[in-house]
Structure 1
């Protein structure tokens, strides 16, 4: 259904994330992957979804010459804990510190999607609250050593081992925590 709706468009997914790419395949969307490196720096006064909205838009601005039928999709995800954004960890120590800070607490996973063409720009976002059990150091280090979560906001993937053992409950979209609120993307694309 969506494939037919989008047949006159060229969909560009600006993401290296294998999880986001898989979502597009699972939606049966024809798309190409094109990425442009952007320094993901945002004004310090921004909070929560203001950060992801800003960064998704910033990533879209790197694409200067869209063709008439191009639709560009960029996105950004952060983990929001104690009024602070957790991005991707720099190394094992950073990953450990992030997971230790998440242990026994609730946090929000926030994703924004920017959908852009030569005729419109729309940003949508989603927030999912995740509850972590108390984690032992042994569990944290096992996860870091075996799953190397350095490409994931907050240093974890809900679909991996840590998600199986650490998450007590989630409120909101599971897929948002994986990296893309697919239901919101679908709604925007089907209504183009």
Structure 2
């Protein structure tokens, strides 16, 4: 089976490469809105499946498509990618000094129509941050492409994340342990790095 990644995320690309998996990237624009009644993990799974549906008719029989979506939740509030620096500062100000949840939804869609949808949750504990630390991070690291306005692999992850409950890689955007397992089950192959 040939793996196709439908993501522009450099972090997801790096994680798949670090797993030793061969893949190609296929991109197209997909609306990332979701029904308002969905909550937390449901949002991430819905978005991953919605993205996969846009590729359904383009897959060859020997291809498996991987789509994913990561969201940050503070309580029931979903924090997507910030629209601008002011929203990024507001998000980080709300997250600081608290624990929040990161959900990554993943959809694996085989060219023969078989599909697996799942999500993983990681609880992230942030220490209290000063306003100047938050402004520094937003201005220097430009986290506008990241759910919750931060990347755990960035400077802020090093200085603010005090504890994780769950997968670190899930916070980066892909629960690779679960992807590995589910790909093996879907394809019926023992995956080994190439």
Partner of 1:137: 131
> Does residue 154 in structure 1 map to residue 148 in structure 2?
yes
The alignment partner of 2:60 has SS state of coil
For 1:1-192, what aligned pairs fall within 5 Å after superposition? Answer: 9-63=1-55, 64-117=57-110, 118-191=112-185, 192=187
Provide the rounded CA distance (Å) in 2 between the counterparts of 1:154 and 1:107.
Answer: 10
Paired residues, what number?
184
- CA shift at 1:167, angstroms? 1.0
1:172 offset after TM fit, Å? Answer: 0.4
Question: How far apart, CA to CA, are the structure 2 residues paired with 1:167 and 1:26?
Answer: 23
In structure 2, C-alpha distance between the alignment counterparts of 1:35 and 1:52, rounded to whole Å: 19
For the residue of structure 2 that corresponds to 1:150, the secondary structure is helix
Secondary structure (helix, strand or coil) at the match of 1:59 reads helix
Calculate the TM-score normalised by the size of structure 1. 0.94
TM-score (norm 2): 0.93
Distance in 1 of aligned mates of 2:159 and 2:61: 47
Distance between the aligned counterparts of 1:103 and 1:82, measured in 2? 13
Partner SS, residue 26 of structure 1:
helix
- Which residue does 2:192 correspond to in 1? none
Shift of 1:139: 0.2
1:49-78 superposed Cα distances (whole Å, 9 cap, x missing partner): 000110000000111221110100000000
Q: Distance in 1 between matches of 2:37 and 2:18?
A: 37
Counterparts of 1:61 and 1:93, CA distance in 2: 33
Aligned position for 2:191: none
